[in-house]
């Protein structure tokens, strides 16, 4: 129950005044200030030690993370260099088979072998070469009979022709794509309509 200040007895007020007005000498004699100061100092030292430990842990974590990042960078760089150096290894192995077949065909020609057998060998070699290119993502652009597309074809000549104009009539050099990127455009002859306009 709240007490009205006017209801205090004289003894209560004196007791409060005694506590509030204790002299430093009285507190020292009781060991209060020194104990309080020692407790505060111990508490500050404990907190400081805890913070130092946390700072050291964070710094160690930072150093380890930084070292891991540097190691990853080095590893990725080595992998990139290896990929650039050896990335075409599969294609080159396929081309070595083609080279072996061409060398065998040349040996047969030198020995005066049957030309039909040499022709068949060359056809098989050409087939294996196309397969090697296909495995590497290279595909031939189909041009003949198609509408001229400047993104895929390079027109070298125009020939008058009945029917639609700008249709590929002849393919002088084949064009190739690497997946969806143009490696080389088809060099073509395109039609020029012979119809006269009135």
Window from 9-13, 24-28, 129-133, 147-151 with minimum mean pLDDT: 9-13
Q: Is residue 6 part of a domain?
A: no
Tell me the pairing of strands 176-178 and 138-140: antiparallel
> Which CATH number characterizes residue 190's domain?
2.30.22.10
> What string of DSSP letters covers 3-72?
PPGGG--HHHHHHHHHHHT--HHHHHHHTHHHHHHHHHHHHHHHHHHHHHHHHHHHHHHHHHHHHHHHHH
> What string of DSSP letters covers 58-126?
HHHHHHHHHHHHHHHHHHHHHHHHHHHHHTTHHHHHHHHHHHHHHHHHHHHHHTT--HHHHHHHHHHHH
Tell me the pairing of strands 186-193 and 153-161: parallel
Q: Contact at 8 Å (CB) between 166 and 188?
A: no
Q: Is residue 78 part of a domain?
A: yes
Q: Is residue 172 part of a domain?
A: yes
80 and 18 belong to one structural domain: yes
Answer yes or no: is pLDDT of 34 > 90: no
Last residue of a domain, one of 86, 108, 124: 86
19 and 77 belong to one structural domain: yes
Q: Report the pLDDT value the prediction gives residue 31, as an integer from 0 to 100.
A: 62
Answer yes or no: is pLDDT of 198 > 80: no
155 and 132 belong to one structural domain: no
Q: Report the pLDDT value the prediction gives residue 1, as an integer from 0 to 100.
A: 44
Q: Report the pLDDT value the prediction gives residue 23, as an integer from 0 to 100.
A: 60
Q: Is residue 114 part of a domain?
A: yes
Q: Is residue 5 part of a domain?
A: no
pLDDT band at 113; cut points 50, 70, 90: confident
- Which of 178, 184, 171 has its CA nearest to residue 134? 178
Q: Report the pLDDT value the prediction gives residue 13, as an integer from 0 to 100.
A: 47
Cα separation, 17 vs 137, whole angstroms: 97
Cα separation, 170 vs 174, whole angstroms: 10
Q: Is residue 54 part of a domain?
A: yes
pLDDT band at 21; cut points 50, 70, 90: low
Domain total of the chain: 3
Q: Give the structural domain span for 108.
A: 88-136
Whole-prediction pTM: 0.57
Q: Is residue 4 part of a domain?
A: no
146 and 187 belong to one structural domain: yes
Answer yes or no: is pLDDT of 146 > 90: yes
């Amino acid at each position: 129950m709240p007490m009205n200040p006017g209801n205090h007895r004289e003894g209560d007020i004196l007791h409060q005044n005694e506590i509030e007005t204790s002299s430093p000498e009285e507190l020292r004699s009781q060991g209060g200030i020194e104990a309080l100061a020692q407790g505060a100092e111990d508490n500050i030292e404990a907190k400081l030690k805890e913070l130092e430990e946390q700072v050291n842990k964070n710094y160690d974590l930072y150093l380890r993370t930084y070292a891991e990042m540097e190691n990853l960078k080095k590893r990725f760089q080595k992998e990139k260099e290896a990929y650039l150096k050896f990335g075409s290894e599969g294609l080159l192995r396929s081309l070595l088979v083609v080279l072996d077949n061409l060398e065998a065909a040349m040996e047969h020609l030198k020995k005066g072998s049957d030309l039909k057998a040499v022709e068949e060998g060359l056809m098989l070699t050409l087939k294996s070469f196309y397969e090697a290119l296909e495995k590497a993502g290279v595909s031939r652009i189909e041009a003949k009979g198609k509408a001229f597309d400047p993104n895929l074809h390079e027109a070298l000549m125009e020939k008058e022709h009945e029917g639609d104009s700008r249709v590929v009539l002849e393919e002088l050099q084949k064009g190739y794509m690497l997946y969806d990127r143009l490696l080389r455009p088809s060099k073509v002859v395109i039609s020029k309509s012979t119809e006269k306009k009135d």
